[in-house]
Amino acid sequence: MSVPLFNLAPNLTVSRLCLGTMTFGEQNSMIESFQLLDKAFNSGINFFDSAEMYPVPQRADTQGRSEEYLGRWIKDRGISRDRIVLATKVAGPSGQMTWIRGGPECLDGKNITEAIDNSLTRLQTDYIDLYQIHWPDRYVPMFGETEYDPARQYCSSPIEDQLHALSKAIDAGKIRYIGLSNETPYGLMKFLQAADRAKGRPMIVSLQNSYSLLCRTFDSALAECCHHESVFLLAYSPLAMGILSGKYFSDGGPTDARLNLFKGRYSEGESRYNLSKATVTAATREYLLIANKYGLHPVSLAIAFVLMHPLVASAVFGATKMWQLQEVLNACHVELSAEVIAEVNKVHSMFTNPCP
């Protein structure tokens, strides 16, 4: 069975599974990446997500390889461009990735334009279907942080300036639609308001935030914003960096699993998906028990739960091995019963968002 489709925006139909490429060029060689892309595309996935900073963990020697592999695959396979939906992202300020525009320092028009042009070159394409701001150009709690600290705010590029640069790129035919990522309700609404005030400015069609059995923070204020503003969620980390597959609960998991392979080198992931937190392991064990009770593969439970959300357009997942990809493909055709959902919600009430 082919992967179902979803109308994300006018003339933008995406598969309900989106293959993320952040392992391409680090964990996966070009040959391995091509094999995964072949399998995904031949199974009905038309939606592929990347970012200028990928692969992760980020470093100067590999930056941009994920986009390069994706672009080379499309060209090598001779795939018609209109059969592929390409999404990529511009890195927000971090101060750590000095090899990307000095930090990056900010998301002003110059930085956004330069990032788009560089991504187009690496992807070997004339346009990007969905261009996303990877994280905000302002302080927000992210990657496991939950409390806002006003003292940490810094001078940032105005949202209006960011939208102006993106609008110019749309007018030039470089991008078709724009989306946000790792955003807050405040940030989403400010972007929407700014776009509404400026005639001809592009509207936000998607929000790529974390969403899984272990992270349902979207379901509060963000869900309300997205519902009323017709913005759909691209749910990344639906398997909570592989934790929900159960692989880390057998002798600590494979040595080449990300949380083991990159231990101490991937702070953004480790801060959120922290297996040393009792609530993370306790909640995951409960979800694994539910899957076993109802004869479900743990991956099927996790992916099917995400896809049943009415505001989720697509689940953005990663895979480094063919069998992992097949498990996710199998999961997109699973329907969860009311009994399963009731038990899932019971666990959620006991261990609420252990991986925010």
54 is an active site residue: yes
CA–CA separation, 317 and 240 (whole Å): 10
The two three-digit tokens of residue 338, written as one number? 């009311």
Q: Which is nearest to 208 in space by CA: 235, 238, 178? A: 235
The SS3 assignment for 173 reads coil
CA–CA separation, 351 and 336 (whole Å): 20
Q: Which is nearest to 89 in space by CA: 152, 42, 143, 136? A: 136
Helix then strand count (H, E) for the chain reads 12, 10
Annotated active-site residue in 54, 211, 248, 287: 54
Which residues, 6 or more positions from 97, have their beta carbon under 8 angstroms from its beta carbon? 53, 58, 60, 63, 91, 103, 104
Total residues found in the chain within this entry: 356
CA–CA separation, 343 and 282 (whole Å): 15
CA–CA separation, 41 and 173 (whole Å): 25
Q: Is the peptide bond before 93 cis (omega within 30 degrees of 0)?
A: no
Catalytic residues: 54
